[in-house]
Amino acid sequence: MSDDAPTTVIDARGLQCPMPLVRASQAAKKLSAGEWLRVLATDRGSVPDFRAWIDGRAEYELLAQDEEQGDDGRTVYVHHVKRV
């Protein structure tokens, strides 16, 4: 994972498919090459959704997908997407 802070953080916690991906896609279009975004989602389906979205897209790279424990005890799925 990059040591630099993300250009944008998308808080999509509580949103169901496809909204985390929709919000990420909208934000990613505004990124310049080398910039990246961090997306927070509680929808488990976002994990395969992000993999499928990145697959075959030369302009983006899925840097990492992590899981964190949210303050409310829910699992937060964290997606790191970079514009190449």
Active centre residues (catalytic)? 17
Of 9, 26, 20, nearest to 42 by C-alpha is: 20
The distance from CA 25 to its chain's CA centroid, rounded to whole angstroms, is 9
Q: Which residue has the tokens 């699992």?
A: 75
